């Protein structure tokens, strides 16, 4: 299986939200990582045929997905950032409703709903109204609906947004499990969401794909280094202004900063091994302490 984007572009008026992206994906988990407004949702909406490209094309096994139309949607599952549901529906009603919309035969729908309720850990909540579910449980229902047609391509837009750390880990594990024998594309601006489960990480900035690779490959692609610097508290504002600071820890013996920089920022800085969070800051971070995406 192959999903291929060729020079994919989407403009809104004069603004280019997705800028000539060329990419080939096969089975496995792809993590689309970028700051807010990078163009992740726009890209995903095109992959889900909800938005026409201004230029370029998307091919599934060589066929244009917009021409494949319903045949393509049969093999697609999509969890949007905000997904609509009738608030009065119970989880079970909701899943059967989506199964009907997807054109599943009743016997198949019954089997799939049952399987997915177990797989997504929804057994306790089947009779609960959608409007009464917590964010994490609602997203489990969202994943279950996206999986109803056993899609070959599963697209998840910020599936962990607003989840607590436990739910986030549960979700990651679930996505890993679901990724067997299918392509999963998930978008996030949280590094840890993709660090362990994405075989391939795609870095998106201002509509373009600026890098792709495994976590290790991306770490090796850094031209800057990571430094641990212990300084007096009074030196912190100047360092924050002039460097990309990924972490600050204040202790009894002064303040320790983790800084991304080509050269040692202050005498006595110790070079540290880079992590994926540092890669994010290397490519997306700004000097001047404006790194709230990370902190």
Ligand X SMILES: Nc1ncnc2c1ncn2[C@@H]1O[C@H](COP(=O)(O)OP(=O)(O)OP(=O)(O)O)[C@@H](O)[C@H]1O
Query: Which spans of this chain sit near ligand X (rule: CB under 6 A)?
Result: 12, 17, 34, 36-42, 189
Find out whether 271 and 295 touch, Cβ atoms under 8 Å.
no
Instruction: Kindly state the smallest distance separating residue 283's Cβ from ligand X, in Å.
Output: 14
Residue with tokens 């089947």: 126
Q: How many CA atoms lie within 13 A of 166 on its CB side?
A: 3
Instruction: Kindly state the smallest distance separating residue 173's Cβ from ligand X, in Å.
Output: 23
**Residue (53 or 265) nearer to ligand X, CB:** 53
**Residue (23 or 266) nearer to ligand X, CB:** 23
Instruction: Kindly state the smallest distance separating residue 191's Cβ from ligand X, in Å.
Output: 14
Element (H, E) at 219: helix 215-220
**Residue (81 or 255) nearer to ligand X, CB:** 81
Find out whether 205 and 284 touch, Cβ atoms under 8 Å.
yes
Instruction: Kindly state the smallest distance separating residue 10's Cβ from ligand X, in Å.
Output: 8
Instruction: Check residue 82 and report its DSSP letter.
Output: S
Instruction: Kindly state the smallest distance separating residue 48's Cβ from ligand X, in Å.
Output: 13
**Residue (102 or 189) nearer to ligand X, CB:** 189
For the CA atoms of 160, 164, 167, 173, the dihedral, rounded to the nearest 10 degrees, stands at 60
**Residue (161 or 266) nearer to ligand X, CB:** 161
Of the candidates 211, 206, 224, 219, the residue with the CA atom closest to the CA atom of residue 262: 224
């Amino acid at each position: 299986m192959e999903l291929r984007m060729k020079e994919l572009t989407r403009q809104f008026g004069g603004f280019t939200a997705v800028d000539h992206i060329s990419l080939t994906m096969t089975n496995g988990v792809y993590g689309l990582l970028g700051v807010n407004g990078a163009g992740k949702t726009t890209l995903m909406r095109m992959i889900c045929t909800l938005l026409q490209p201004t230029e370029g094309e998307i091919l599934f096994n060589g066929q244009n997905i917009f021409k494949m139309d319903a045949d393509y949607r049969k093999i697609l599952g999509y969890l949007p950032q905000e997904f609509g549901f009738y608030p009065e529906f119970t989880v079970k009603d909701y899943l059967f409703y989506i199964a009907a919309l997807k054109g599943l035969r009743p016997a198949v729908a019954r089997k799939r709903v049952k399987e997915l309720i177990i797989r997504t850990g929804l057994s306790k909540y089947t009779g609960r109204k959608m409007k009464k579910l917590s964010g994490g449980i609602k997203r489990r229902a969202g994943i279950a609906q996206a999986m109803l047609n056993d899609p070959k391509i599963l697209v998840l837009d910020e599936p962990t947004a607003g989840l607590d750390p436990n739910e986030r880990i549960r979700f990651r594990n679930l996505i890993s499990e679901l990724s067997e024998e299918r392509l999963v594309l998930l978008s996030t601006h949280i590094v840890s969401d993709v660090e362990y489960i994405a075989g391939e990480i795609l870095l998106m900035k201002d509509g373009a794909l600026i890098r792709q690779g495994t976590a290790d490959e991306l770490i090796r692609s850094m031209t800057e280094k990571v430094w641990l610097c212990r300084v007096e508290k009074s030196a912190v504002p100047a360092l924050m202004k002039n460097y990309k600071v990924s972490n600050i820890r204040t202790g009894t013996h002064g303040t320790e900063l983790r800084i991304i920089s080509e050269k040692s920022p202050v005498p006595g800085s110790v070079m540290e091994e880079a992590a994926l969070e540092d890669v994010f800051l290397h490519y997306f971070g700004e000097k001047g302490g404006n790194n709230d995406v990370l902190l």
